[in-house]
Amino acid sequence: MKRALRWNMALAGVLFMLVALIVLPFWFVLTGSIKEPSEIIARTPTMIPQSFSLQHYVKLLSASDYPLYMMNSMIVATASTVITLLLAIPAGYAFFRMAFAGRETLYRAILLAYAFPSIVILIPLFGIFAKLGLIDTRLALVLVNVAFALPFAIWMLRSFFAGIPIEIEEAARLDGGAPLTVLRRIMIPLVAPGIAAVAVFTFVTSWTEYVFASVMILSDAKRPMPVGFSGIIGQYQIDWGLLLAGASLSILPVVILFAFVGRWFVAGLTEGAVK
Amino acid sequence: MTIPKRYSRLTGAALIALLPVSAAAQVDLTLWHMEQPPHRVERVQILLDEFNASHPEITVSQEPQNWGEVYAKAPAALAAGAGPDMLFAIPDFTPILKGIGALTSVEDFVTELDAVHDFNPSAVEAYSYDDGVWAVPLYNMSMNLWYRPSVLSAAGIDVPTTWDEWKAAAEALTKDGMYGMGLPANQQLYTDQTVYSVMANGGASEIYNADGSLNFDTPETVAAYSFYNDMLAFSPPDAASWTWGEAEACFASNSCAMIMQFSVISTYDTQAEGVASDLGVAAIPSKDGGDSNTIAYANAVMLLSQDDEKMEASKTFVRWLLQPENYGRFLNMEPGLFMPVTADGAAADSYWSDPMVEKYRGQIETVIENSQNGMLFGFTSGRVFPAISAISAQNVLAETLQAIAITGTDAAQAVTDGQARMQDLTE
């Protein structure tokens, strides 16, 4: 009994440290965003805000292009997510169901593409996009995001399709369902947790992508949030309140997305882990 | 056909014939600058709107960029034909664009502007090499020593003018949770700037010999690094990761008694006490109390268009911007940070009438005075060594400090290693 108690206390201690490690930075960012400037930079940081002010949010939303950057990010991340799903679902299903020469090799090659360091293709890709007239377009960012999210998405969805008993699909076929109908009416609802996991993964990676966006977007009006926001912060003189308010708002869409599909996302991750 | 009808048709035809000419006469220019904070973008836009209204044949639009990316982005964009017509620069950025053939000399234009506005010679010098002038100076930034007079007087300390006084002051002020001197040790540009400011005050300002060979590994450089490392003992422990913002926050929160910074005026006014009489600024102390030097960045604008019409329109814009009634308002997009590089700009009402500038006039006058002895590594004594761009891009000055302060390498060895690293990068 004593041993169990000690074990539980040790577990609770580790859990507490882990939660503190993850939650504390968010706590300081969120509470800092509503503090007066002098309190933000105070010599001793305050855990509980001693002042309250929305001035940083007002300044961020009224005197900067932050809302525009958020809108750009929303367009790019949503389009990237939708296109990735539209391509990954049939591709994952094809890798699972279709028999063709080199299927396994191609499947592994896709994962190799995922492991490829993206930074090395930045300049060549810039040249290609320049020739195609895609520089300074949101489409360029969508293409990049889809290209980097697709391998993982296909790999993950294939494992989900593989987990569905073959009898279900055969029964649907016997009832006269064409392959696409079977995919749409039977298989997709069954892999919904996997689709949710892929959607969240793609949205978050697109939402936070910085390197390609910083180089391929030239005009301020098309900048996504991470790049636009880094400019708002400034170099020599940092407005810490603005920084904290912007950082707080930037996680809002991801939090909302998790609120809608979070349960499926977790289910997707755990199911994917054992298949 | 009656005469009036014929006349009106002729007039109409003439107007139609002229239309393409009018359309062709309209010139659209894109300005890239790295002043991204919203209030600076807003100020630039106000000026652009005024210019565009007074010059209907030219439209200038701004696209703010980030210093962190522009070194890679600008060459790529220019190669792709999507670059700007005008691009702000600091001296070590210009050689990169000159190296890819994106620049043509604007020597005649700078001479013309100099005759009207009287440029600070050191600002032009930083862009004058290889038989040309490669950018038009716009504003100056120089490093200074900032402090609170009340803090120094409470400790019975005078403003330091020598290294010994500086060290003694930092030591005496390091108590009760306050650090005497906030100095960075990050491998980043800010550390390059503070290290060089110390070097320049210890007789180690010349990184190159006249023949272009490296002159970094000298006893003066070693002494400067040793002194800097000693001073780090009076800095907060997290100073090894600082950039400009953290140093300013340390000063604004009264955690650092002194810091080296271009300007703290804006932060001090908006995030700290904002009492003008208790903000002190001084020249950076020199080793033996002689003339004080400092690092100074003459920011400029490069004219990049290969099209004659666009180039002429760009010059029209720069001429307009440097007129004293516009220039002061341009500088005051960040009051107290950007200093004039022209004589008539330094005297302009548009500069001194800004409320923040009026409030901190004494400090700004000191900063302008300090900047007279401004210098920049690789651009000293009338000699310019474009190879410094590679050294600057890799932050070798800061890297050398890190070898001493973080890994504990002996200062003399670290400086020797630093020169070897510079040699590798230059080759």
Q: What is the pLDDT of residue A182?
A: 86
B147-181 confidence digits (pLDDT tens): 999 999 999 999 999 999 999 999 999 998 899 99
Mean pLDDT taken over chain B: 90
Q: What is the pLDDT of residue B45?
A: 96
Q: What is the pLDDT of residue A138?
A: 96
Which of the two residues, A101 and A202, has the higher pLDDT score? A202
User: Which residue intervals of chain A are DSSP H helices?
Assistant: 2-32, 37-40, 55-63, 66-97, 103-115, 122-131, 138-162, 166-174, 179-182, 188-190, 192-208, 211-216, 225-233, 240-250, 252-274
Q: Tell me the shortest Cα–Cα distance from B327 to chain A, in angstroms.
A: 21
Q: What is the pLDDT of residue A274?
A: 45
Q: Is the pLDDT of residue B23 over 60?
A: no
* Rounded average pLDDT over B70-89: 90
Interface probe, candidates B63, B141, B295, chain A, greatest A C-beta count within 10 A: B63
Which of the two residues, A114 and A148, has the higher pLDDT score? A148
Q: How far apart are CA B377 and CA B196, in angstroms?
A: 7
Q: Tell me the shortest Cα–Cα distance from A231 to chain B, in angstroms.
A: 5
Chain center to CA of A98: 30
Q: What is the pLDDT of residue B41?
A: 92
Residue contact A38–B271, C-beta within 8 A:
yes
Q: Is the pLDDT of residue A250 over 80?
A: yes
Percentage helix, strand, coil for chain B under 3-state DSSP, each rounded to 5: 50, 15, 30
B22 pLDDT band, cuts 50/70/90, is: very low
A167-200 confidence digits (pLDDT tens): 888 888 888 888 888 888 888 888 888 999 999 9
Q: How far apart are CA B90 and CA B73, in angstroms?
A: 15
Give me the residue from A43, A214, A220 closest to B63, CB to CB: A220
Residue contact A238–B249, C-beta within 8 A:
yes
B68 pLDDT band, cuts 50/70/90, is: confident
CA distances from B138 to A231, B168, B227, B315, B321 (A): 21, 38, 34, 13, 9
Interface probe, candidates B62, B69, B273, B337, chain A, greatest A C-beta count within 10 A: B69
Residue contact B36–A43, C-beta within 8 A:
no
Q: How far apart are CA B294 and CA B276, in angstroms?
A: 23
Share of chain B above pLDDT 90, in %: 70
Q: Which residues of B touch A227 (CB under 8 A)?
A: 66
A47-86 confidence digits (pLDDT tens): 999 999 999 999 999 988 999 999 999 999 999 999 999 9
- The reply to whether B251 touches chain A by the CB within 8 Å rule is no
Most confident of A121-135, A235-249, B54-68: B54-68
B17 pLDDT band, cuts 50/70/90, is: very low
Share of chain B above pLDDT 70, in %: 94
Interface probe, candidates B30, B45, B66, B189, chain A, greatest A C-beta count within 10 A: B66
B97-112 confidence digits (pLDDT tens): 998 899 999 999 999 9
Residue contact B80–A135, C-beta within 8 A:
yes
CB-defined contacts A:B, below 8 A: 99
Q: How far apart are CA A158 and CA A187, in angstroms?
A: 11
Q: How far apart are CA A158 and CA A152, in angstroms?
A: 10
Mean pLDDT taken over chain A: 87
Q: Which residues of B touch A64 (CB under 8 A)?
A: 38
Angle at A115 between CA A109 and CA A121, to 5 degrees: 100
**Listed residue (A127, A118, A120, A119) closest to A149, CA to CA:** A118
Residue contact A237–B68, C-beta within 8 A:
no
B368-386 confidence digits (pLDDT tens): 888 888 888 888 877 777 7
Residue contact B271–A240, C-beta within 8 A:
yes
- Enter the tokens of residue B295: 């690092």
- The reply to whether B42 touches chain A by the CB within 8 Å rule is yes
Other CB atoms within a 10 A radius of the CB of residue B348 amount to 20
Q: What is the pLDDT of residue B121?
A: 86
- Enter the tokens of residue A271: 């199911």
Q: What is the pLDDT of residue B71?
A: 85
Q: Do B87 and B79 touch, CB atoms closer than 8 A?
A: no
Q: Tell me the shortest Cα–Cα distance from B261 to chain A, in angstroms.
A: 9
Q: Do B256 and B125 touch, CB atoms closer than 8 A?
A: no
Q: What is the pLDDT of residue A164?
A: 86
Q: Which residues of A touch B334 (CB under 8 A)?
A: 237
* Rounded average pLDDT over B252-262: 95
Q: Tell me the shortest Cα–Cα distance from B248 to chain A, in angstroms.
A: 7
Q: What is the pLDDT of residue A265?
A: 63
